[in-house]
């Protein structure tokens, strides 16, 4: 069966981040996870407390084993781990924990400028929220795009504002669209982060989230299965009265349907996550990332479908 999808290697039927990086840089490019010591407005009382209910005390940076070090030490330590797999590659410093534009411009400038100057750094990725983008910060990040590509990863999770209230997100889908309208006028690349399996959402809700963002100016997307982690508000909620969790087969079918809705040019940076086994309450099936990705590929071939098949 001929692969009808143009933006792929190895018979993939969606626009992988690997394809984007290899065709852009003609080299292996690895992300290096960093924690710059930020927080979020739904943690510090500005908009709420406790953060999003699924988020750990590390702000999603749990896999960063060097988080207590200063940034350059974190970078060198975590890069060394990458070098064991792929020596002589390029790097993407990835500021993953919490909201990394939630602070004064000087702090953000000090965070980024050492890495912008490095020849080995191909791009920079910054996880943040749509309500943490002041005008001076956007102007500064836009200026950096003249030197290195800058990705902003905006955590949406769901376009359903009722779900947003349940997860303590403390901003609306309309807030996200307003931020995108401003970012669209810059050179900054934007990646949407969506999450399948949030409490009380069904397949219709999750497909609607992707349909709602399909025509918004995102260059990338991350699709993530909900991880119920110990020590989180969501974990406490689950242990008191377990809510329904998507099973593995349903998740795979759902992701294929979501990919069909996306613009083929949108770069798919992730289709599942990497939880730490000891911290995971549910679902256990997310621990085997490779087989999930393989089965998504198999189902797409079986159905003879591809990213963008239903995009209009």
For every one of its 312 residues, what pLDDT tens digit does the chain have, with 9 covering 90 and above? 778 899 988 889 999 999 999 999 999 999 999 999 999 999 999 999 999 999 988 756 555 455 568 999 999 999 988 888 777 789 999 999 999 999 999 999 999 999 999 999 999 999 999 999 999 999 999 999 999 999 999 999 999 999 999 999 999 999 999 999 999 999 999 999 999 999 999 999 999 999 999 999 999 999 999 999 999 999 999 999 878 899 999 999 999 999 999 999 999 999 999 899 999 999 999 999 999 999 999 999 999 999 999 998
The residues with which 32 forms a beta bridge, in sequence order, are 93
Q: Residue 190 has what DSSP assignment?
A: E
SS3 193: strand
Q: What is the pTM of this model?
A: 0.94
CATH architecture of 17-303: Alpha-Beta Barrel (3.20)
SS3 229: strand
Q: Residue 54 has what DSSP assignment?
A: T
Domains in the chain: boundaries: 17-303
In the numeric block, which tokens belong to residue 119? 């020849």
Q: Residue 124 has what DSSP assignment?
A: E
- CA angle (312 as vertex; 178, 293 as ends), nearest 5: 85
């Amino acid at each position: 069966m001929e692969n009808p999808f143009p933006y792929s290697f190895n018979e993939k039927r969606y626009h992988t981040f690997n394809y984007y990086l290899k065709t852009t840089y003609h080299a292996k490019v690895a992300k290096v996870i960093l924690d710059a010591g930020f927080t979020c407005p739904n943690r510090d009382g500005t908009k709420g407390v406790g953060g999003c209910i699924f988020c750990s005390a590390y702000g999603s940076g749990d896999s960063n084993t060097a988080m207590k070090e200063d940034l350059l030490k974190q970078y060198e330590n975590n890069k060394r781990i990458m070098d064991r797999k792929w020596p002589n590659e390029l790097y993407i410093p990835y500021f993953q924990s919490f909201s990394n534009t939630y602070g004064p411009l000087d702090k953000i400038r000090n965070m980024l400028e050492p890495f912008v100057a490095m020849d080995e750094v191909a791009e920079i990725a910054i996880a943040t929220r749509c309500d943490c983008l002041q005008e001076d910060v956007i102007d500064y990040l836009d200026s950096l795009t003249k030197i290195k590509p800058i990705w902003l990863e905006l955590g949406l999770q769901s376009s359903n504002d009722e779900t947003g209230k349940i997860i303590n997100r403390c901003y609306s889908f309309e807030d996200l669209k307003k931020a995108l309208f401003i970012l669209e006028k810059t050179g900054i690349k934007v990646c949407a982060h969506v999450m399948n399996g949030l409490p009380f959402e069904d397949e219709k809700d999750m497909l609607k989230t992707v349909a709602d963002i399909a025509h918004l100016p995102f260059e990338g997307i991350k699709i993530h299965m909900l991880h119920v982690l110990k020590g989180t508000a969501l974990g406490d909620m689950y242990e008191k009265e377990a809510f329904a969790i998507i099973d593995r087969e349903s998740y795979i079918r759902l992701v294929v349907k979501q990919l069909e809705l996306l613009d083929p040019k949108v770069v798919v940076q992730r289709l599942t996550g990497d939880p730490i086994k000891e911290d995971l309450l549910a679902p256990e099936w997310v621990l085997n990332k490779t087989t999930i990705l393989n089965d998504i590929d198999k189902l797409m071939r079986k159905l003879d479908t591809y990213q963008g098949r239903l995009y209009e």
